[in-house]
A and B are shown apart, each in its own frame.
Chain A
Amino acid sequence: MVAMENPHAHAPQGFIRKYIFSLDHKVIGIQYFFLALTAVFVGMFLSLLMRIHLVWPNANIPFFGHIQPETYLTLLTMHGTIMVFFVLTTAPQGGFGNYFLPIQIGAPDMAFPVLNMLSFWTTFVAFVVIIAAFFVQGGAPLHGWTGYPPLSAVQSAGPGEGLGADLWITSIAIFCIASLMGALNFITTTLDMRAKGMTLMRMPLTVWSWFITAILGLLAFGVLLSAGILLLLDRNLGTSFYVPLVVVSGQIMGHKGGSPLLWQHLFWFFGHPEVYIAILPGMGVASQVLSTFSRKPIFGYRAMVYAMLSIGFFGFMVWGHHMFMSGMSPYSAFAFSILTMCIGVPSAIKTFNWLGTMWKARIRFHTPMLYAIGFVSLFVSGGLSGPFLAQPVLDIQLHDTYFVVGHFHLIMGVAAIFGMFAATYYWFPKMFGRMMNEPWGRIHFFITLAGTYAIFMPMHYLGMAGGTRRYSDYREVKYLATLMPLHRFMTFAAIITIGAQFIFVINLFWSMFKGPKASDNPWEATTLEWTTTTPPPHDNFGGVTPVVHHGPYEYGVPGAAKDYVMQTDPTTVSAH
C-alpha cells in the first residue's frame, strides 16, 4: 500500500471522477445505497400489485389494467429476485459496509479502489438487465426467484420463459461476478488495512459481520454463477444438466437424463448462505446501536463473534432443509435437519446477549435505537418459526405454504430491513452531515413495526391451515377460499405500511438538505467513524492515521471522565 505514494491524499476533481466513476469507498457506498433504495421501491411496488390482485382479482389498475395469472407470477418472481439481490445483498454490505468498514478499522480506503468501483458498476448493469426483462417479448419470467427447472429451463413451459428468463439468469450471473469482486475487497481490507492497535477482537461487531458476510459471499456466489451458466446452456444450447426427458404440452423436448434436483442443490448451496448474507450485517448494526444507546458495553463480545462465525459455518451445511419434499433421500433429511437446529443455538446466544446488553442500561430512545429494538423483536419472531420448518415431519404440512413466506419475510426480509433502517438513522449524520428528523422517525418506526407484524404474522395462520403460496387466485380451491379474510387483512396492512415508507423517504431527502447540522459525534459513540469530521474527508482521517487503544464498546467505564471512551483515547482506563 505504501509503494503507491499515498493515492488517497488528494481528492479527485471533476464531477464524473468525483461522483460517477469515483474510487472513494464513501461515494461508492452512497451509490450502492441509492441503487438499493431504487430497487426496494420497485420491489415494494410489485408486492403492492400482488396484494391488490389477490384481494381484488378483477381490479383495473392504472397502467397495468387487469392482472393475469401469469402476470401475478411475474410480479412474485421479480419481487423476490429484486429484493434478495438488489436490496438485501446490496444495501447492508455494498452500501453501509463500503462506507463504514474502512473508517471503522482506521483505513483510508478499501484495499482495491478500482475493483470497488467496478463491483458497483457491475451491480448496476445487473440491475438494468433485470429491469429490462419486464420490457422484452413475453415479459419477465414466472418461475419464482428460486427458478426451479424444468419450468425455468424449457422455453415453452410458460409465458416469460423466453428472452425474459434469459435476462433474469444473465442479471443474476452478472450480480454474482460483482459480489465476488466486492467480497474479495472486503476480506482483504479487513485483514490487511486495520490501523495500529485494531486487533481482530477490537473490531466493532459491524466489521465482523461485514467480514463474515464477505466470506460467505465469496464461497456462495461462485456456485450460483456456475449453476446459472449451466441453466443458460440448458435453455439455449440443448444441454441436459437439469432437464430429463419431459413432455410439455404434448411435445417431447430434446432433453434427456438431466436432474431437476441438481439445480436445487446448487441453488440452495448458495441460497441458504444468502439468508445470512442478508441478515448478518443487520446483526452487526443492531449490536452496535444497542450498545451505543444503552450506554453499556455489548454483553459477551466474544460470544457474539463466535456466534456469527458459527452461523456462517453452519449456514453452508443446511441447504437441504429447503428440499425435504423434493424427492431427495429421506436419510439425508436427518443430517440437514439436525444441522439446521444447530444454527438455532448461536442465534439464541445473540438474542440473549442483546437482551443482556439492555439489562441495567440507561436506554436513549433515538430512532436508530427503536429500529435496533424492533430488529431484536422481529429476529425472535421470525427465528422461532425456524424450528418448525427445520423438522422434516412438520415440513410435510408447512413446506411451500404461507408459513414459510411469513418465516423468511420476518427474519431475512423485515428484520434485515430494520437493520438497514437502524443503520440509516444511525449513520445518516456522518454520511450527509445533517441530522434526520426524530419525531417523523418515531412515527415511521411505530407504523412500520405494527404494520409488518400485521402483514406477516397472519401468514403463519394461513400456512398452518394449508394455505399454499404462489397462487394468483385463492378462490378456486374451497378450503383456500375460506382463508380470504386473512388475505384481505394482510392487503390492508400492506397498503398502510407501504404508505408509511414515504415518511421515511421524505425525511431522508428533506434532512439531507434541511436537517440541522450534525456534530462529529452526535450519538456520543466510541468507534472510529465518530473520531473524524462530519462528513469524513477524502482520506477519512485528514492525513492522520488513527491508533486504537480500546475495544469498540467502552461505555459507562467506572472512573472515566465521560460515560464513553473513544477507541482512540490514549488514556488507559479500561483493560479492553
Chain B
Amino acid sequence: MGLALMVVIWLITLISTYFFVAKTWWLPLGAADAAGFIDGQFALTFVLMGIIFLAAQLGLGYIVWKYRDRAAAQPASYSHGNTTLELVWTTLTAILFIGLNLMGSRVWASERFEPAEAGAVKVEVTGMQFAWYFRYPGPDGTFGATSPKLMDPSAGGEAAVGLNTADPAAKDDIVTGTMYLPVDREIDLSLRAVDVIHSFFVPSLRFKQDAVPGLNIHMHLKPTVVGEYEIVCAELCGLGHYKMHGMVHVVSQDDFDKWLAAREAEKQ
C-alpha cells in the first residue's frame, strides 16, 4: 500500500509539473509594457512554488513508502517535535513569502499609484449588459457630458452611453464598439459601468479592472506590439456574460490617426 501510494502521488506530481514546465498552456504573448514585469514576477513565483511543490509531494510519497508498517520496520520513534526545527522553517517561510510579495509590490506601485503621464491618449470604456463601448474625446480633448436619462442600450453607439449631444464638448466625441489604440503611447483609460459590475480584461495586454456602477476608475497602460487582442468580461454580469467580448486593435500612430479621422468624418 505504501508503494502504491508513493507511485500515485509521484505520478500526479510529475504529470502536473510536466504541463507547467512544457508551457503547453501558458500566459498569452504579452503586448503591453507591463507584461515584462508581470511575467517576470509570475515566473519567479512559479519557480519558487514549483520547487516547494515538488519537494513536498515527492517527500510525502517517499515518507509514506519508507516508513510503512512491516515486520522488519524499526519501532516508531517517540518524539513530540523539535523547537529549533519549527523556528527554522517558520523563519524561512516568512522570509520567502513576504520577500516575494514585496518584490511584486514594486510593480503594482509603478502601475497603479501614478496617474497617466501628460499627453496620454484618453479613452473611456463603458460596460453594460452585454457590450463594451469605447469613447474618444475627439480633437477638443474633452469628453462631453452623458446622462442616464439618455441611455438607450438597444440603439447602440452614442445613445447607449447616453451622450448628451446638446453639450458642445460632446459634438466631436466618437463612440465605437471596437477599440483602437496607438502602439507605444500611454493610454489613459476611464472605466464605467451603467447597470451591474463588469470587468474589462485583455489577457494579452495584462490588463484587468472591474468597471463599477457609480465609480469612474482611471487606469493607464501602454500597448507595445501591433496586433488584435480579444477583450472579455471577467466579472459575472448576467445571462450574456459569456458573449460580452470585443476586440482591441493596437495600430501604428498613423493608422490610429487615420482611423480616428475617418470616424470624425462619418459623424459629420
Say whether, besides A244-B213, A361-B67, A476-B242, A300 and B196 are in contact (CB < 8 Å): no
Q: Which chain B residues lie closer than 8 Å to A450 at the CB level? A: 8, 12
Q: Are A556 and B76 in contact (CB under 8 A)?
A: yes
Q: Which chain B residues lie closer than 8 Å to A341 at the CB level? A: 97-98, 100-101
Q: Are A465 and B26 in contact (CB under 8 A)?
A: yes
Chain B residue at smallest Cβ distance from A380: B56
For residue B52, CB closer than 8 A to chain A, the reply is yes
In the bound complex, what is the Cα–Cα distance between A248 and B236 (angstroms)? 15
Chain B residue at smallest Cβ distance from A76: B236
Q: Are B242 and A69 in contact (CB under 8 A)?
A: yes
Q: Are B67 and A345 in contact (CB under 8 A)?
A: no
In the bound complex, what is the Cα–Cα distance between A355 and B57 (angstroms)? 10
Q: Which of A345, A480, A576 is close to B97, meaning CB atoms less than 8 Å apart?
A: A345
Q: Which chain A residues lie closer than 8 Å to B89 at the CB level? A: 348-349, 352
Q: Which chain A residues lie closer than 8 Å to B2 at the CB level? A: 363, 365
For residue B248, CB closer than 8 A to chain A, the reply is no
For residue B268, CB closer than 8 A to chain A, the reply is no
Q: Which chain B residues numbered 77 to 93 have a C-beta less than 8 Å away from chain A?
A: 77-82, 85-86, 89-90, 93
Tell me how far the C-beta of B16 lies from the nearest C-beta in chain A, rounded to whole angstroms: 5
Q: Are A154 and B81 in contact (CB under 8 A)?
A: no
In the bound complex, what is the Cα–Cα distance between A536 and B98 (angstroms)? 48
For residue B259, CB closer than 8 A to chain A, the reply is no
Interface membership of chain A positions 255-274, coded 1 if the CB is closer than 8 angstroms to chain B and 0 otherwise: 00111110000000000000
Interface membership of chain A positions 64-81, coded 1 if the CB is closer than 8 angstroms to chain B and 0 otherwise: 000011100100000000
Q: Which chain B residues numbered 1 to 31 have a C-beta less than 8 Å away from chain A?
A: 1-2, 4-5, 8-9, 12, 16, 19-20, 24-28
Q: Which one of A377, A458, A476 has the highest number of Cβ atoms from chain B below 10 Å of its Cβ? A: A377
For residue A522, CB closer than 8 A to chain B, the reply is no
Q: Which chain A residues lie closer than 8 Å to B113 at the CB level? A: 330-331
In the bound complex, what is the Cα–Cα distance between A165 and B185 (angstroms)? 45
Q: Which chain A residues numbered 154 to 205 have a C-beta less than 8 Å away from chain B?
A: 154, 157-159
State the interface size on chain B (CB cutoff 8 A). Answer: 104
Q: Which one of A244, A457, A477 has the highest number of Cβ atoms from chain B below 10 Å of its Cβ? A: A477
Q: Are A325 and B209 in contact (CB under 8 A)?
A: yes
Say whether, besides A327-B212, A486-B25, A300 and B207 are in contact (CB < 8 Å): no
For residue A143, CB closer than 8 A to chain B, the reply is yes
Q: Which chain B residues lie closer than 8 Å to A466 at the CB level? A: 27-28, 201, 203, 232
Interface membership of chain B positions 63-83, coded 1 if the CB is closer than 8 angstroms to chain A and 0 otherwise: 110011100011111111110
Q: A261-B212, A377-B60, A556-B77 are in contact. List 19 more A-B contacts (CB 8 A).
A: A158-B239, A245-B214, A246-B196, A250-B152, A296-B79, A333-B108, A338-B101, A355-B59, A363-B2, A365-B69, A391-B100, A391-B101, A392-B104, A393-B37, A393-B107, A393-B108, A396-B34, A476-B242, A486-B25
Contacts A/B (CB < 8 Å), 25 sampled: A143-B236, A157-B195, A244-B213, A245-B214, A248-B129, A249-B129, A249-B195, A261-B215, A297-B78, A299-B81, A301-B80, A341-B98, A352-B89, A356-B82, A356-B85, A388-B49, A391-B104, A393-B108, A465-B28, A468-B232, A470-B241, A471-B242, A476-B243, A480-B232, A483-B25
